[in-house]
Structure 1
């Protein structure tokens, strides 16, 4: 990446992301590994027209909340977004990429999304809606930018702990392919939205499951439901997703030396043990 491109990335990261129009997005965008696991829903993204609320609800499990169009009439009740979900309605904006990706995560991982909602509501019941606890901040960060990572080779946690990105990504590229470490699920719908712009350098906020659990997402869901995870934002490990082999085109050694993206470990920063 050139110095100018690096500077542009740094500037873009400080500005609010604006998604491209539907007709401006190439279908090839959705072949990126970030969308692995969502293949059965990609028609919602690639069709020439936006899916309506009824079309989204037909893809949801029969039990649980339903999508409801977010319009003036819906918002007039004054109910908090999370509280409304607990009452059975997920406020969803029409023709909106962010909310469409959120809907896809609800379709794919409903138990996880319900666990996040229950914890948000628990904190709202305790402190109201005028403040946000550290746990609510962590829950929101994971909801927007969350990645579930499974680590079968425990030795790979050490370079991640130290932000030794060259070792984690370049020296151990084969371990990412072979499953020593792997992305078990992308659950952050804001990450999906930003991937609409190819080449964007994204950072996931990760919960890590260590070992050979057959369903890492279920383990994360269990931990969130029990209040054992997402107590504070500091639990979330940053993962520069462009470093994973096959997730970005420019993966030469110099790419991993860019400290504005592959950031050094902040002094005193310590990560919790994996689940």
Structure 2
């Protein structure tokens, strides 16, 4: 449950979140945090909520938030196995794990589906091996975003990384909800957004529809059925700060930044929008 970023030289380094006292309450006004607005007090209060307080407040159905201690880890269980048995290991006073808990509260069906698939693949792999499906599941858990479109034709610019068309020419489609961020699911994205100047990239699945929670439910059902997240290449990268209204300086120079708005890799193709039944429960 760690996050990393690449510096200018391409060296991977661990992301270090700011101290709680260093994060201004206004940070959480950003649209990236909109879906967890009901829990704003847990993010802006002077004191960290304890893990037991979080567990009581969030009251997850069939799951408990338990503090991650040496005694807990002594059970030798894998993190995902422990969740399947009902306990979500949570580090105290930790932004990453606090956001993870809030995502569990907001999108429990999708969280459960990811955990079930991780456990299924672990049984098939054995030992410490990981397959491409596990990598995809982890990437979506950490950095996932559900995007909703009313018309699949809106994906044509995204298919070829024509970012100017997607974000500028189609700006009214974003404002009118014809294409929308249905959910920021990845808790690592939320943690990194604590630094307002950070240019974030979501790993996206797309659903055709006109209702946000229904779109998330369709993704949960597809994960539950093993129809998606079988390979990381299924995930569409989206420079989130290009979304109209998500960045204060969205001028021509910003959209011309090729380091952030990257060209499509040769041979890369993305799946189309999901359509289907929602997950049970």
TM-score (normalizing by structure 1): 0.94
**8 A Cα contact 2:199 2:239, kept in partner:** yes
Q: Does 1:64 align with 2:54?
A: no
**8 A Cα contact 2:96 2:191, kept in partner:** yes
Instruction: Give the C-alpha shift of residue 274 in structure 1.
Output: 1.4
Instruction: Give the C-alpha shift of residue 12 in structure 1.
Output: 8.9
Output one character per residue of 1:117-165: Cα deviation in whole Å (capped at 9) or x when no partner: 0000001111124101100000000000000000113221000000000
- Structure 2 unaligned runs (5+)? 1-5, 275-281
Q: Does 1:266 align with 2:272?
A: no
**8 A Cα contact 1:59 1:107, kept in partner:** no
- Structure 1 unaligned runs (5+)? 1-7
Question: Where does 1:46-125 land on structure 2 (aligned, <5 Å)?
Answer: 46-61=44-59, 63-125=61-123
C-alpha RMSD of matched pairs (Å): 1.5
**8 A Cα contact 1:10 1:260, kept in partner:** no
Q: 1:190 to 1:62 in 2, by over 3 A?
A: closer
Output one character per residue of 1:21-56: Cα deviation in whole Å (capped at 9) or x when no partner: 000100000000000111111111001100112211
* Number of residue pairs matched by the alignment: 268
Query: What is the CA–CA distance in structure 2 between the aligned matches of 1:205 and 1:126, rounded to whole Å?
Result: 25
Q: 1:247 to 1:72 in 2, by over 3 A?
A: same
Instruction: Give the C-alpha shift of residue 13 in structure 1.
Output: 8.2
Instruction: Give the C-alpha shift of residue 63 in structure 1.
Output: 2.4
**8 A Cα contact 2:144 2:202, kept in partner:** yes
TM-score (normalizing by structure 2): 0.92
Which residue of structure 2 lines up, in the alignment, with residue 170 of structure 1? 168
Candidates 185, 188, 211, aligned match of 2:186: 188
Instruction: Give the C-alpha shift of residue 57 in structure 1.
Output: 1.2
Query: What is the CA–CA distance in structure 2 between the aligned matches of 1:213 and 1:194, rounded to whole Å?
Result: 27
Q: 1:161 to 1:124 in 2, by over 3 A?
A: same
- Deviates most, 140-149 or 120-129: 120-129
Query: What is the CA–CA distance in structure 2 between the aligned matches of 1:129 and 1:40, rounded to whole Å?
Result: 40
Which residue of structure 1 lines up, in the alignment, with residue 221 of structure 2? 222
Which residue of structure 2 lines up, in the alignment, with residue 131 of structure 1? 129
Query: What is the CA–CA distance in structure 2 between the aligned matches of 1:137 and 1:33, rounded to whole Å?
Result: 27
